[in-house]
Each structure stands twice: as structure tokens, then as C-alpha cells.
Chains A and B, each alone.
Chain A
Amino acid sequence: MARKKWFTGHPVQAKYMRFVALAMAVPALFLGACLYYVVFELLARQMAFPEAIAANLAPVIRRVNGVLLVGLPLVVAAILRMALVVSHRFAGPVARLEGELDRILGGDADRRIHVRENDDLKGVADRINALLAKKTK
């Protein structure tokens, strides 16, 4: 069954999305910044003379900056998409579980919880269904 919407609006998804995005973005940006600084700083130090740095290194830095200007938004978009997918795997079933439980608590005692086969909370849903079946016997 295809997912209808990727963002459930449940607070737990926003929380996990933030966590996943930061877990991906912070190391990536840190490593990138270190690499950028160290490579160019070491090269500049090696070249030493300002004319050599300006004539040879500065154009490379400008080109790298141009690539980053285009590439960085794409990387950020990819990170956000990954964060959305990963967070939805957990937040989607939680939202569904809560919705189904609200309906059951609202009086629909015969209702059972349906989650996808590969959802992470399938085991919890099955056990709640078993508990409800036992109660209604």
C-alpha cells in the first residue's frame, strides 16, 4: 500500500526528522568545512607568496565555491528527504496507532489496528489487537 502522505503532522515525526537531519548534516558540514579549510590553508601556506596564491589558488577556491553554491542546496534537499523518509518509518505507525486507539476508546470496540507488514510497530499493533480480541470474548 503506497503511503498517502509523508508528513503525518505528529510531533514525534518533527522531532525525529530534526534528529536525523542534524545527525546527517552536522558531520557532513563539519568534515566539509575542515577539508575546505585545511586543504586551502595548507596550499596557501605552501605557496606562501601572495601573487602565487592569488593567481593559482584563488581561482580554484572561487570554482569550488561555485560548485558548493549549486551543490549545497541539493545536498540539503537530499538530507531533508532522507530525514523525512526515515522519520516517517517510525512516526507514521505511531500516528496510525494513536488514531485507531482513539476510535476504539471512542466506542468502536470491534475495530482492529491495521499497520503495514514491514512497519516497525507491527508487533505492538498485533499485541494490542490480541488484547482487544481477548477482552471482547
Chain B
Amino acid sequence: MSAAPVPKAPPPPAVDPFEVVKTFPTDTPEALKKWEEKIFKGKSSYKVVTEGVEVYLSATSSNASSGLFYRTEFRVEPGVFLSWRWRALEFPDKNRPERLSDRGQDDFAVRIYVVFPGSTFFNTNVIEYIWDESLPEGTVASSPFSGRVKLFVIRSGKAGSEAGGWKTELRDLHEDYRTLFGEEPRRSVGAVAVMSDSDNTRTTTRADFGDFTLKVKKETLG
């Protein structure tokens, strides 16, 4: 007599190694009110777009420079990650695309700022995560405006067709800060910001993004 086959145990549910500790919502016009709009030269458009189940923030900039700034405060200990999804749709047309840091062409389809404020601007450190059209991922440069502002290309090339071109990022803020500034982050993060600008190149840029989330690796939680 053969034994009844033992039903296979269902696979254990995938355990998310991260715990969400903070979100920076951009999915409704009300949520966007927490993001301060800063206009420098003309106004880039930031609109909440709903496509089926997809909700995201769509940015279009034509010869303009404005961004959204979310004030917050959190310490960057080891195991603290910032996550978001984005897709760059139209890049600024640059004469010298090989130069990441260029005062005359300081435009990007999308860049995400993580600001570590000091007592004044002059000792404020900033990481800018950039999706560039041609520069390879991992390219780093100081901003043409300040050595304390680091431009960091983490995506390169046009958004593909897979998954609608969306890419999800999960950046280890502690590690990135150490890599870019060569020291431990001693100050808390004071803001997260986004910008799609095109004023220097006088062209048009387009990008979508959303789901900004601060996560902590569970194994680092006490």
C-alpha cells in the first residue's frame, strides 16, 4: 500500500528585509502640498498622474528650473536606505554631454537630492542622484556650484520598454555618503528634493517618479 502523497508545504512568504520608517508621498495633490515648490527660472510642471493602478508624479520642464523640496529629519546610520522609482523620458540636449559638472549645462531630466544641512549653506552637504542620458552609471563629480554638492549618476540611457521604463532604486545612504564625501555622515538629513530642469540648455526635459520611501534594514534595528 502506497502512502498518500504528502502535500508540498507552500513556500515561505518572501520576507522583506526592510522596514519602512518614513514615506514622502507624491500620489495626491494634497500630499504634494508638503513639497515646497521652489522656482528659479520659469516653472517646471509637476503633476500627479493616474494611469490605471499607476500613480506617479510627472515632471516636464521647458527652458525652466524649479523643483520640489520636502523638509524632513532623519539620521543616516548604517542600514538606512532611500527608495523610489523613476523613469527619464526626455533629456536635455547638451553640447558637451561628456561633462557631468558643467555650469553652463547644469540640467538633468531628473535628479533626486538628499540634503545634509550644516549650520550654514557653506557647510551643507548634498547628494544628487542623477539619471543621465549618456554618462555611465557610477560617474561622480562635484557640482560646478559647490564642492559640497556631489553629482552621482546612478542610471544611464533612455528608459527602456520593460516595465514601462520604470526603474526602482534602493540607495544605501550611509554607504553613498561615505563614498562621496569620504567620511561618516555626522549630520541628519534635512530634506529630500526632486528637480527636472532645462533652463541652461534651453531645451525640454521630462521624467516621472514617485514612491519615495525611507527604509531601514531590519537586521540593523535593535
- Residues on A facing B (Cβ under 8 Å): 37, 40-41, 44, 47-58
Contacts and interface: CB of A to CB of B under 8 A. Distances in A.
Nearest to B119: A41
| B: interface residue count bin | 20 to 34
B180 interface: no
Interface of A is mostly: helix
Interface stretch (B24-32, B120-128, B154-162, B167-175): B120-128
Given A48-B36, A50-B124, A53-B121, 13 more contacts: A44-B121, A49-B38, A49-B67, A49-B69, A49-B193, A50-B126, A50-B146, A50-B149, A51-B143, A51-B145, A51-B149, A54-B121, A56-B40
A43 to B, nearest CB: 9
A123 B143 CA distance: 71
The CB with the most chain B CB atoms within 10 A, among A37, A55, A56, is that of A55
B120 A50 contact: no
Listed from nearest, the 8 A-B pairs whose CB atoms lie closest are A54-B145, A44-B121, A48-B69, A50-B149, A52-B40, A53-B121, A54-B146, A50-B126
A40 B124 CA distance: 14
Interface of B: 36, 38, 40, 67, 69, 106, 113, 115, 120-121, 124, 126, 143, 145-146, 148-149, 191, 193, 195
A47 B115 CA distance: 13
29 contacts: A37-B120, A40-B121, A44-B120, A44-B121, A47-B40, A48-B38, A48-B67, A48-B191, A48-B193, A49-B38, A49-B40, A49-B67, A49-B69, A49-B113, A50-B115, A50-B124, A50-B148, A51-B106, A51-B145, A51-B149, A52-B38, A53-B121, A54-B143, A54-B146, A54-B149, A56-B40, A57-B121, A58-B121, A58-B145
A44 B123 CA distance: 12
B215 to A, nearest CB: 24
B205 to A, nearest CB: 15
